[in-house]
Amino acid sequence: MASAAHDLLLGKIVGIIENEASSIARVRDKVDELKQELVSMKAFLKDADGKKAQTEGEEAWVTSVRDSFFDVEDVIAEFTDHIYQQERGVGVARFLRRTFHIPKNLWYRRHIAKKLDKIKGTIDAVSERNHKYGVSVAPGQDITTSHDCNQKWIRDQAEACLFTNEDELVGIEDSKQVLIEHLVNGEQSQTIVSVVGMGGSGKTTLVAQVFNNDIVKRHFNCYAWVTVSQTYVIEDLFRSLIGQFHQSRKEEVPREINSMSYRELVKILVDYLNSKRHLVVLDDVWGINVWEKIKVSLQDKQLGSRVVLTTRNSDIARYGFGLASHVHEIPPLEKKNAWELFSRKTFSNHPNKSCPPELEPYAWELLGKCNGLPLAIVALGGLMSSKNSCSEWSNVRNSLNWHLTSDPVLGSMKTILLLSFNDLSYRLKHCFLYCSLFPEDYLMRRKRLVRLWIAEGFVEHVRGATAEVTAERYLSELCFRSMLQVVEWSGAGRPKECRMHDLMREHALSISEKEKFGVVYDGQNEAIEARRLSVQSEGKIKSSTGTSQLRSILVFVKDTKLPSHCRFLRVLDLEKTSITKLPENLGYFFNLRYLNLKGTHIKELPKSIGKLLNLQTLDMRGSKIEGLPKGIAKLVNLRHLIIYRFTGDDVGFQYLKGTRVPVDVSKLSKLQVLTCVEAEGGTISQVGCMTQLVRLGITNVKESDSMNLCNNIQKLRLLDWILLNASDEEEILLTDAISSPPPLLRVVILSGRLEKVPLWFQPLQSLAFLSLHWSKLEQDLLPHIEALPNLRSLVLVNAYVGKQLYFRRGFVKLKELDFRNHPLLTEIIIENGVMSNLHKLGINKCMSLKTVPLGLEYLTDLKTLMLRTVPEDIIQPIRKGGVDRPKVQHIPEIIHFYERSSQWVSEELS
């Protein structure tokens, strides 16, 4: 754990130096000295972390370094704020302030320098105490690092799975049969089978059962199992392969193997496997480089050899490897199997080995925390097996976080989960810990996380990439590493919503609290000792020294009273709270980078908003704000301005409203996202000057705006998302004048009448999401978009006034198709082979349909069919026993929504 703390701490201080301190004249040298001191500390802490056990002295050392860093951060923030206050005047006023405040500024700079000297003195004193009391690693000392101990423990546990009886396992039979099929059947070329899942999901246990299967062993001439882990020596892997291949054939292992060179080992393996069909398991793979190093010894002789690898990283599992490959993702245990496994481990000594009725509510609640993760189920079951009373079970339920960090029975689970965390870079560690500040099972949106991480300063500057692109890479990596679970993918194939496994979150929270990274407010008025506060219980949070140093406040309850005097805040997230008004002195929060007012009842912004010169994100969607004050144009660092309002009617024309903005909004040269502004005055011309925009939404567009609008859209070459909304349902959106659309467009949303299908759709090679709302096209749309190579989602709302839509060809990557409000549509026809990758189909308010889409049976990958406000005549035939039932019986989820007695009712038809 200490190494995690060191990385978090040192990474943050370097960020402060890079982003803030370099601009502070006469103080920079002082901070640079501290930076060098902290770099030396890091070297020492890494040595100390190599000892067999971390001492209390080392713990105190880490705490001292962390507290000193916070002191440095506070001083820098204080000084920056002071300089800002001196620079707030303009013109003559600024000149007078500078003139008459020179003595005061000199005094203040000396004051700050003295504070930094004092902090450095404190750090020096801590170093001297450590030296005095011998908190160090002696040169040449024979030590075993905690990391190596963990790796050995992991290897032992993995190989123990080879001796697990099958009757001890539940819920693996289907996956087992799939893997056996991949191994013993199929092509003769060498094939890699990757099994991927988060730590503790049962990857190794599953593969061990397959590896030991008699059918599998008889199929191969020789086989070997190698646990790779995070640290390995390639020569040792070769020796292990040679030894196990020989043992699998009951042959004597070459005696001189331990003294052989790399070249000799490779030659033995190549010669030995020349005519043998082999099976190799590479367990616990953390990087693709292991295959690059080992493949020279496992050459493809077209004998049907197989390589199985297990990994936590789906990026590795999907890596090409230059061979035929299959990927098998480990699903969580189903509820029934999870209960069976938990009962086996927990109630083996109870009558009939079943759960006592009085404990069942607690058991289900704890089981729910495991989210189908076998390791967690087994570990918690072992812990609870010794607890027989309701009070004991209640105690564990109420203090699970403490048990996870302190109870030795759960040590194995903690070790496995922490391996994934410790393998992250310090920036990814920050991002991951930040996710733990969201409530349990909370669905975290990609864009929200990206903007929060940028505001916090977690995202490094990468040449040629925006901060948003880099942050999205961070999120993808956390998802690929199984640290976060993707709940929904966007139409463009990126994570749209994700969540954190409950037990992973508990571990992350314990680290956050220990390192003062962040805490969750639980309604208790205790002193807050952290930089970030997540409010998840209602109550009044008292102001204190701790709250005055807060950098982030995230609120997840409707009503709460926030502390005052948090002038160093970088993040204020009030999404969906009941707040009705912001304080007039909002400009006091000079450091604010992120302000989220989504779904609040706020009707206007205070004029002081123009003083937030560091603000990067202003999210007001769904609020009551109809216009922005002139001061918005002063927010020179603003990157995301999100200001649209939904009406709640997703099938009617007026589903979206924009917001009025000052005419000089084009001054915001860093603005990338502007959604959605009303087209009035010179807004459209102003937008055309903002060539840095990536996302743009314009509402209230009139036919008279068309030529000006088209000309200005063509100037926005970086645009990847656009929404155009006509002023009313009779207004025609004339977009034909767009002859050269922005080449990077991935999302196009057009709301308003179209005379014909825009010709500029066809060259959009990156288009992934297309929504046509109230287009009322008489022309058949489908031939114009069927060839789009990356179209994944298509939404049509009153887009076509014909009676038949015929999908004859194309739509090769389409995954989601949604029809809404087509009153004249009687028939949807789908040819065999069209939309073969479709996963979700929705039909809403299409009351003239005579039947479900013809050809529905061809959509073999369809997972969900949603039917809402459709004729009963098309529902009855697809119910069980109905004439059209064979067309839909392959679909796992079919839901019918209908209105009854002014209430919406859902019917499950699958």
**What is the tens place of the pLDDT at every residue in 297-327?**
999 999 999 999 999 888 888 887 788 889 9
Instruction: Name the region of 241 (left: φ>0; alpha: ψ -120 to 50; beta: rest).
Output: alpha
Q: Does pLDDT of 90 surpass 80?
A: no
Cα 610 versus chain centre, distance: 32
Cα 647 versus chain centre, distance: 29
Q: Does pLDDT of 67 surpass 80?
A: no
Res 586: pLDDT: 85
447 Cβ contact list (under 8 Å, min separation 6)? none
Nearest to 754 by CA among 741, 767, 773: 773
Nearest to 684 by CA among 717, 657, 724: 724
Res 25: pLDDT: 47
Report residue 113's pLDDT band, with 50, 70 and 90 as the boundaries. low
- Taking residue 125's Cβ as centre, other Cβ atoms within 10 Å add up to 11
Report which of residues 172 and 298 the model is more confident about. 298
Phi, psi of 385 (to 5 degrees): -65, -20
Give dist(CA 378, CA 384) in Å, integer. Answer: 10
Res 143: pLDDT: 35
**Nearest-5° angle of CA 381, CA 387, CA 389?**
130
Q: Which amino acid does the sequence have at 212?
A: N
Q: Does pLDDT of 715 surpass 70?
A: yes
Report which of residues 659 and 13 the model is more confident about. 659
Token readout for 217 is 């062993």
Phi, psi of 655 (to 5 degrees): -100, -10
Mean pLDDT of 235-248: 93
pLDDT tens digit string along 834-880?
A: 999 999 999 999 999 999 999 999 999 999 999 999 999 999 999 99
Mean pLDDT of 249-261: 90
Res 314: pLDDT: 86
Report which of residues 116 and 622 the model is more confident about. 622
For residues 502 and 440, is the Cβ–Cβ distance under 8 A?
A: yes
Report residue 412's pLDDT band, with 50, 70 and 90 as the boundaries. low
Q: Which amino acid does the sequence have at 736?
A: D
Res 561: pLDDT: 83
Q: Does pLDDT of 511 surpass 70?
A: yes
Mean pLDDT of 568-588: 89
Helix, strand, coil tally for the chain in percent (to 5): 45, 15, 40
Residue count (the chain): 910
Res 403: pLDDT: 64
Mean pLDDT of 98-123: 60
Q: Say if domain 148-329 classifies as CATH 3.40.50.300.
A: yes
Give dist(CA 458, CA 42) in Å, integer. Answer: 19
Q: Does pLDDT of 116 surpass 60?
A: yes
For residues 327 and 318, is the Cβ–Cβ distance under 8 A?
A: yes
Report residue 189's pLDDT band, with 50, 70 and 90 as the boundaries. very high
Mean pLDDT of 671-695: 91
Res 135: pLDDT: 52
Token readout for 97 is 């302030």
Nearest to 770 by CA among 833, 708, 813: 813
Report residue 78's pLDDT band, with 50, 70 and 90 as the boundaries. low
Give dist(CA 600, CA 574) in Å, integer. Answer: 8
692 Cβ contact list (under 8 Å, min separation 6)? 669, 670, 671, 672, 718
Res 112: pLDDT: 64
pLDDT tens digit string along 123-134?
A: 666 666 666 555
Q: Does pLDDT of 37 surpass 60?
A: no
Element (H, E) at 573: strand 571-573
Q: Does pLDDT of 103 surpass 80?
A: no
For residues 401 and 520, is the Cβ–Cβ distance under 8 A?
A: no
| 3-state SS class at 619 | strand
Task: Give one DSSP letter per residue of 60-101, joined into a string.
Answer: HHHHHHHHHHHHHHHHHHHHHHHHHHHH---HHHHHHHHHHT
| 3-state SS class at 425 | coil
Report which of residues 851 and 111 the model is more confident about. 851
Q: Does pLDDT of 191 surpass 50?
A: yes
Cα 300 versus chain centre, distance: 38
Element (H, E) at 499: strand 495-499
Q: Does pLDDT of 21 surpass 50?
A: no
Q: Structure pTM? A: 0.78
Res 378: pLDDT: 81
Mean pLDDT of 722-747: 94
Res 92: pLDDT: 39
Q: Does pLDDT of 293 surpass 60?
A: yes
pLDDT tens digit string along 341-359?
A: 888 888 887 877 789 889 9
Site of tokens 């058949």 = 780
Report which of residues 639 and 494 the model is more confident about. 639
Q: Does pLDDT of 214 surpass 60?
A: yes
Q: Does pLDDT of 523 surpass 80?
A: no
Q: Does pLDDT of 58 surpass 80?
A: no
Report residue 159's pLDDT band, with 50, 70 and 90 as the boundaries. low
Report which of residues 870 and 83 the model is more confident about. 870
Res 15: pLDDT: 54
| 3-state SS class at 106 | helix
Please report how the helices 91-100 and 56-87 are oriented relative to each other, as an axis angle in degrees rounded to 10: 120
Res 130: pLDDT: 61
Report the range of poorest mean pLDDT among 146-155, 409-418, 441-450, 537-546: 146-155
- Taking residue 511's Cβ as centre, other Cβ atoms within 10 Å add up to 21
Task: Give one DSSP letter per residue of 321-371, joined into a string.
Answer: TTSEEEEEEPPPPPHHHHHHHHHHHHSTTSGGG---GGGHHHHHHHHHHHT
From the candidate CATH numbers 3.40.630.10, 1.10.150.120, 1.20.140.150, 1.10.10.10, the one assigned to the domain spanning 424-514 = 1.10.10.10
Report the range of poorest mean pLDDT among 13-17, 505-509, 827-831: 13-17
- Domain limits of the chain? 2-143, 148-329, 335-415, 424-514, 816-910
